[in-house]
């Protein structure tokens, strides 16, 4: 971090110097040799720098734990998740590049848009909050916070934060888990959770999650109490 701060002015000078001959020759500036430039295609759906847009369906990827992002890229490549554009983008990519992509989006610490869900019914929000914080012991449903962190901002290295996601995206993921459209490495803990929740529960959780404002710098937690309530193949035990 300190090194990058120190190097930044140097890099700026280097960029300016590099641009001078090009400008003299009247040709456009060189394409930046950066991950930001390489990942431009992702912005078409995931928003600028992967920060999503409140009105859209597509999830925010900026700042998600790198392990989670890599798992998802690999899930698309391996057919455990199905979305044609994602599959098409990653199916001819090496593990090394998928890791670099995951690391880069994970490193972005960007502000969140205001919450998408406003004015949901109070009883729905209350039910959602109860499920997130306490779960539903009578039905064997663990609390979301037991895996996703007390602040619901995820846990390193591979549990995603769930705040700042579009409500429609959240609902669809539960649906996809229930129908087998979305899978994770076995044992697939979220597939089990999804089958425990009623449609009303899913709506409530999605409404609560998408109604929470997110402060700047919602870093994922470093660790969480073990064992997790369910075994998850994509999270190291």
17 near another protein, rule: CB under 8 A: no
Q: How far apart are CA 148 and CA 8, in angstroms?
A: 35
Which residues have a Cβ under 8 Å from the Cβ of 62 and sit 6 or more positions away? 49, 50, 51, 52, 105, 108, 109, 110
Q: Which is nearer to another protein, 93 or 156 (CB)?
A: 93
Q: Which is nearer to another protein, 43 or 198 (CB)?
A: 43
Q: Which of 5, 9, 26, 28 binds another protein (CB under 8 A)?
A: 28
94 near another protein, rule: CB under 8 A: yes
107 near another protein, rule: CB under 8 A: no
Pairing state between β 154-155 and 159-160: antiparallel
Q: How far apart are CA 54 and CA 112, in angstroms?
A: 9
30 near another protein, rule: CB under 8 A: yes
Q: What is the DSSP letter of 18?
A: H
Burial category of 50 from C-beta neighbours within 10 Å (exposed 0-12, middle 13-18, buried 19 and up):
buried
Contact window for another protein (CB under 8 A) among 2-10, 65-73, 81-89, 206-214: 81-89
Q: Which is nearer to another protein, 87 or 129 (CB)?
A: 87
Which residue in the block uniquely carries the two structure tokens 């995820």? 154
Contact window for another protein (CB under 8 A) among 35-43, 118-126, 138-146, 223-231: 35-43
In angstroms, the first-to-last Cα distance of the chain is: 30
Q: Which of 51, 64, 80, 148 binds another protein (CB under 8 A)?
A: 80
Q: Which is nearer to another protein, 39 or 220 (CB)?
A: 39
Q: How far is CA 78 from the centre of its chain?
A: 19
Q: How far apart are CA 170 and CA 140, in angstroms?
A: 21
Q: How far apart are CA 106 and CA 50, in angstroms?
A: 10
CB of 110 to another protein, least distance (A): 19
Contact window for another protein (CB under 8 A) among 61-69, 71-79, 158-166, 222-230: 71-79
92 near another protein, rule: CB under 8 A: yes
Chain residues binding another protein by CB under 8 A are: 18, 27-28, 30-33, 37-45, 77-80, 85, 87-89, 91-94, 96-97, 100
């Amino acid at each position: 971090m300190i090194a990058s701060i120190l190097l930044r002015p140097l890099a700026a000078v280097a960029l300016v110097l590099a641009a001078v001959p090009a400008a003299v020759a009247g040709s456009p500036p060189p394409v930046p040799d950066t991950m930001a430039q390489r990942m431009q295609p992702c912005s078409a759906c995931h928003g600028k720098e992967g920060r999503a847009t409140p009105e859209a369906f597509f999830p925010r990827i900026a700042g998600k734990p790198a392990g989670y992002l890599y798992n998802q890229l690999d899930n698309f490549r391996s057919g455990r998740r199905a979305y044609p554009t994602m599959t098409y983008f990653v199916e001819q990519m090496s593990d090394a590049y998928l890791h670099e992509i995951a690391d880069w989006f994970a490193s972005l610490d960007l502000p969140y848009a205001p919450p998408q869900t406003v004015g949901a019914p109070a009883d729905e929000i209350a039910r959602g909050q109860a499920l997130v914080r306490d779960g539903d012991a009578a039905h064997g449903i663990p609390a979301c916070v037991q895996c996703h962190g007390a602040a619901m901002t995820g846990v390193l290295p591979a549990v995603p934060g769930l705040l700042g996601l579009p409500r429609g995206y959240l609902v669809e993921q539960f649906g996809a888990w229930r129908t087998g459209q979305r899978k994770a490495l076995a044992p697939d803990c979220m597939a089990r959770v999804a089958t425990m929740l009623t449609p009303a529960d899913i709506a409530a959780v999605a409404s609560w999650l998408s109604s929470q404002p997110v402060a700047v710098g919602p870093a994922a937690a470093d660790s969480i109490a073990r064992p997790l309530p369910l075994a998850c193949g994509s999270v190291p035990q």
